[in-house]
Amino acid sequence: MPTSGIPNLLSLMTFLPLLGAIIVMCLPRPRDLSTKATAGQDKTKPVIEDTGRLLVTWITLGFTLLTFVVSLVVFGLFDSHYAHSLTRNMQFVENVDWISMGSLHIRYHMGVDGISLLLIVLTTLLMTLITLFSFSMKDRIKEFMVFLLLLETGLIGVFCALDLVLFYFFWEAMLIPFYFLIGIFGSANRQAAALKFFIYTFAGSILMLVAIIGIYQVAGSFDIVALCDPSSPAGAALRAAPPEKLTWMFAAFALAFMIKVPMFPFHSWLADTYAEAPTAGNVISSGVMVKMGTYGFLRFLLPLFPEQSHTFAPVFIWLAVFSIIYGSLIAAVQTDIKRLLAYSSLAHLGFVILGIFTFTRVGTMGAALQNINHGISTPMLFFLVGMLAERGGSRWIADYGGLKKIVPMLATMLLIATLSSLAVPFFNGFTGEFPILLGSWISATTHLFGGYWPTALAGTGMILSAVYLLWWYQRLMLGVAKKPELRRFPDLNRAEWAVLIPLTIVIFWVGLGSSFWTQRMKSAVNTLVPSGQESLIPADEGPDIPYTQPVTAVLEADAAANALNDSGMGRKGAPVPVRKKPLHPVYRPATGGAAPGGARSGPAPGGSPPPREAPGGSPQAPPPGTPGTDAPTPRPGGRLEPGFQTVPPMLRRKLFPNAPDRLPRGDVFNSRLLSQKEVQS
């Protein structure tokens, strides 16, 4: 296991903001500056001498920056080639006894893999930017900063925790500071919105708590790593539990995460919260907090309940598709800037859920990347909307218009953020949403339950997003400025540039060089979607095609240097044999046999260019240092019908009446056992 040399780096990163919160809490309270607050006070003291305000803001900035630096250190020391499915690729692991009484053992178990690492860096970056953005806040700045720092601890903790109880601690403790951020600093209707948000999330998570205890009762462990591993006692016990019990636990977990994301029937808190929250609340919520939901799907739901996830996949796929279309349509008719972004968030996160439930590496990687992308573009939009609202004092679209000539820089930045959210190529959104659609196209799961319809309908979501976002941009920025006060808007100032530039850099970095980010998540995604479960391509038929093959082919077509480098590396490896066998008839979509041939080997549908290096060689062969955990292993028993293992267990008995019940999962087991042997040797 790679270690950093610096002990307890994750704990340091998690609790640094907490320390900052305690320090800021002890500082004297600065004077409020708004006219309302200063109405009854004497104004003899000039504002410039308010050292309390300087102390509060700069100390907070210092702590958020320091946390950001620590997270960058973790990012730098992170070994992206480290792959070990038995430990779920966790690095920087800390594992000590926390609560041990009687039969109860709760451990303080922290660790990061690629997926959580990127979310952590995103969190610390956004927190730093929010602090910077909030320097101009007038009232109650001290409380604001305290809550911000407390929130940061909770968010980082959620992404680091590897013990279910520890996770729940952070997950729930984070609600309180966020509740206050909305309730104190929001707009007129903030109290109701804060309460609605809290009750919604609390209702979901307390049922999850019951399910967590249920898991412990069944498996005797809270350790996620052990629970996810079917060869460990805890993992085996969990999988051997009565199916109806597992289904209930699955439902409780799914409910908590679906509320958090949110998905269609549980989304009603989203628009109210976004509309009433202050800019900081919007940024945190859209950037990081909703990611806790999607992260929950990836980290907990899928690995803990693989069978149930497969069985209920159609529900999630259709809900995701519905969220995409419904969110887009509702967003198009909004008159409130923030509500529009809220519904667009609903649509974009629908893509993430769709990607997760394709059970393909492409789709899952796309979902993980889109998680980050959405955490960059939506916060940037919210920052810009906040800047607009600071100038115009209104959040109604109709109050603006024709701003492009007045504030050209702000308009340009807004365009960048909009295009990024639109998933235009070159921008980051594309690198996330395209693999998701690709994964959904080649996925057996989507096929079984809806043919190509989920992909097709989700694809319309991309068009719809162009409709509402471009129209929105048009109404805000283009045309003639209707009101005279709009002409007095100042353009971006230095602090605002400082907030926007880092986000812009990340947008293009992800958009043009996505492999820098995906290679860090690769081992996590590969563990999440074992080769045997991958899409239409059964493990015993073809080579284990690495995720990056089809995607990089398209994504990096423009970043020529990178791609050349990669393919050059790849040609040194042994040529990968091409699969010639036709698909099992079950998997031939009813719409016609022509499409899947292309879909299997590359991203042919959708008019994208054929993969340059697809049949010839293995362009993205695993780097030499990677242990071959996911290398295809010869199946010990007889051959199964191709495609068997990709069928959800519920349908197996119907489709393959003669096949044994549990055998196909042995594929996964075998590869894990192999890796265990490797470790020992």
Partner 1 sequence: MNYSSSIHAILPLLILVITGMIVLVGDACLGFWRRSKLFSASVALAGVSIAGLSALTALNEGGVKNAFSGAISADPFSQACSLILILVAGLAILVAMTYLQNRDMHHAEYYALVLFSTSGAMLMAAANDLIVLFIAVEILSVALYVLTGFARTEERSEEAALKYFLLGAFAAGFLLYGIALIYGGSAGSIDGGSYGTVAGGTTNLTLLAQHLSFTTAPPVMLLIGVGLLFVGLAFKAGLVPFHMWTPDVYQGAPTSVTAFMAAAAKIGAFAAMLRVFTALGPISPYWLGAIQIVAVLTMFGGNILAVTQDNVKRMLAYSSIAHSGYLTVAIAALGAIPHDSAGALAARNTAMSGAIFYLLAYALMTLGSFGVLVWLTNRGKDYQTISDLKGLWYKDPPAAYMMLIFICSLGGIPGTMGFMGKWFIFYASLQAGQLWLAVSMACASVISIAYYLRIAATMCFVDPESRTEPIRAQSTGGVITAIAIAASFTLLFGVAPGLVHSLMTAAIALGRP
Chain positions contacting partner 1, by CB under 8 A = 40, 98-104, 165, 168-170, 172-173, 175-176, 179-180, 183-184, 190-191, 194-195, 198-199, 202-203, 206-207, 209-210, 213-214, 216-217, 248
Tell the smallest beta-carbon distance from residue 40 to partner 1 (Å).
Answer: 8
CB closer to partner 1 out of 103 and 681: 103
Tell the smallest beta-carbon distance from residue 311 to partner 1 (Å).
Answer: 21
Instruction: Give the SS3 label for residue 129.
Output: helix
CB closer to partner 1 out of 20 and 183: 183
CB closer to partner 1 out of 194 and 280: 194
Tell the smallest beta-carbon distance from residue 206 to partner 1 (Å).
Answer: 4
Tell the smallest beta-carbon distance from residue 217 to partner 1 (Å).
Answer: 5
φ, ψ dihedrals at 272, nearest 5°: -65, -45
For CA atoms 647, 524, 612, 429, the dihedral sign is: positive
3-state SS of 515-572 is HHHHHHHHHHHHHHCCHHHCCCCCCCCCCCCCCHHHHHHHHCCCCHHHHHHHHHHHHC
CB closer to partner 1 out of 222 and 441: 222
Tell the smallest beta-carbon distance from residue 248 to partner 1 (Å).
Answer: 8
Tell the smallest beta-carbon distance from residue 172 to partner 1 (Å).
Answer: 5
For the chain, give the longest Cα–Cα distance: 89
CB closer to partner 1 out of 252 and 372: 252
Closest C-alpha to 357, from 326, 390, 313: 313
CB closer to partner 1 out of 46 and 102: 102
Tell the smallest beta-carbon distance from residue 200 to partner 1 (Å).
Answer: 10
Tell the smallest beta-carbon distance from residue 230 to partner 1 (Å).
Answer: 23
* CA 141-120-76 angle, 5° bins: 120
Contact yes or no for 495/132 (Cβ under 8 A): yes
CB closer to partner 1 out of 100 and 394: 100
Contact yes or no for 486/400 (Cβ under 8 A): yes
Closest C-alpha to 226, from 135, 332, 105, 399: 105
HSE-up (13 A, CA, CB side) for residue 526? 30
What is the token pair recorded at 338?
């923030």
What Å distances lie between residue 514 and 37, 115, 429, 553, 566, CA to CA?
A: 48, 14, 11, 12, 13
Q: Which residues contact residue 162 at a Cβ distance below 8 angstroms, ignoring those fewer than 6 apart?
A: 90, 93, 95, 109, 110, 111, 223, 224, 225
CB closer to partner 1 out of 25 and 679: 25
CB closer to partner 1 out of 97 and 678: 97
> In sequence order, what DSSP letters do the residues of 331-364 get, joined into one string?
HHT--BHHHHHHHHHHHHHHHHHHHHTT-SHHHH
Q: Which residues contact residue 101 at a Cβ distance below 8 angstroms, ignoring those fewer than 6 apart?
A: none
What Å distances lie between residue 580 and 66, 521, 537, 543, CA to CA?
A: 55, 31, 12, 12
Tell the smallest beta-carbon distance from residue 37 to partner 1 (Å).
Answer: 9
CB closer to partner 1 out of 183 and 379: 183
Tell the smallest beta-carbon distance from residue 208 to partner 1 (Å).
Answer: 9
Where are the extended beta strands (E) located within 77-133? 91-101, 104-112
